[in-house]
Amino acid sequence: MAKDYPDGWVNQWHRHRRAQLVYASSGVMTIRTPHGIWIVPPDRALWIPPAVDHEIGMAGAVTMRTLYIEPGAARGLPDVCAVVAVSGLLRELILRAVEMPLLYDENGADGRVAGLIFDELRALSSLPLHLPSPRDSRLQRLCAAVRRRPADDRTLAAWGREVGASARTLARLFRDETGLTFGRWRAQARLLAALGRLAGGEKVTTVALDLGYDSPSAFTALFRRHFGVPPSRYFSSRRPQAGAV
């Protein structure tokens, strides 16, 4: 499926019988499931197993290209959502696949394209662009508040007074239910929020200060460690989307 979406568009909660590989050659997608939030920038894709409830929000103009994979054909592929890097070869295969008929000839050239796609999918590794969601209702309220106001630097004890739990209880629950400390979870939330705002064209300095970083240089250093390039170059360094529109 090939669809383009404007900035701010939201595909409300839904699910598909088949697995999906959701890819966008431009724009950033924020994909929510009951288990967490995934940020999908250009040259990345999200693998979604069959029958997973999800919602997709768009930051910037998004050119989405989606592959749907029958559950039986998805055996051996991940049974959890994962953000993956899209190689140059897989990108071209995706763009070719969305032009194929739905009932393509499995024994012809289209079938060979599909076979190459499966070879690429099985070789993919996941990337750290996931913000896990807790089950505990107190943590859910805390996490929702942090996502709304990422710059809020209150301690876990202060948050505990608001949600009705001790700092020790919240710290234990964070580790048990997300696999992260509160500090690391909040840092991840800020970094992923920054991706969406940068995709919308906001300046690095504005994003850094609004999200609670001590300085633009501190934000740039952390961003570079995480993504390999500074934020000012992240989207300009993405490959051109030849043939994607």
pTM (predicted TM-score): 0.79
**pLDDT score for 51:** 95
Residue 33 lies in a domain: yes
Q: Do 103 and 140 lie in a common domain? A: no
Model pLDDT, residue 60: 84
pLDDT at 226: 81
Which residues neighbour 85 within 8 Å (Cβ) at sequence distance 6 or greater? 43, 44, 124, 125, 127
Show which of 122, 148, 171 is a domain's final residue.
122
129, part of any domain: no
The verdict on residue 181 lying in a domain is yes
* Residue closest to 91 by CA, chosen among 111, 67, 60: 67
Identity of the amino acid at 97: A
Query: Among 85, 101, 122, where does a domain finish?
Result: 122
Please, which residues have CB within 8 angstroms of residue 172's CB and are 6 or more apart in sequence? none
Residue 173 forms part of a structural domain = yes
- Check whether residue 115 and residue 171 sit in a common domain: no
Quote the CA–CA distance of 189 and 52 in Å, as a whole number.
22
Judge if 113 and 147 occupy the same domain.
no
Tell me the CATH number at 209: 1.10.10.60
Asked if residue 152 and residue 79 are part of one domain, the reply reads: no
238 closest CA partner among 91, 58, 30? 91
How far apart, in whole angstroms, are the C-alpha atoms of residue 123 and residue 192?
25
Q: Which structural domain, as residue segments, surrounds residue 147?
A: 134-234
- 155 and 46 in one domain? no
Residue 242 within any structural domain of the chain: no
Q: Could you give the number of structural domains in the chain?
A: 2
Q: What are the per-10-residue average pLDDT scores of the chain (245 residues)?
A: 93 96 90 92 90 94 93 88 90 94 93 94 84 93 93 93 95 94 92 84 91 92 86 65 32
User: pLDDT at position 237, please?
Assistant: 53
Residue 227 lies in a domain: yes
Residue that finishes a domain, picked among 122, 157, 178: 122
Residues 36 and 114 in one domain: yes
Where does the chain have alpha helices with state H? 88-97, 109-122, 137-148, 156-163, 167-178, 182-199, 204-210, 216-227, 231-234
Residues 71 and 168 in one domain: no
Shared domain for 57 and 89, answered yes or no, is: yes
Would residue 230 count as lying in a domain?
yes
Residue-by-residue DSSP string for 75-124: TTS-SS-EEEE--HHHHHHHHHHTTS-SS--TTSHHHHHHHHHHHHHHT-
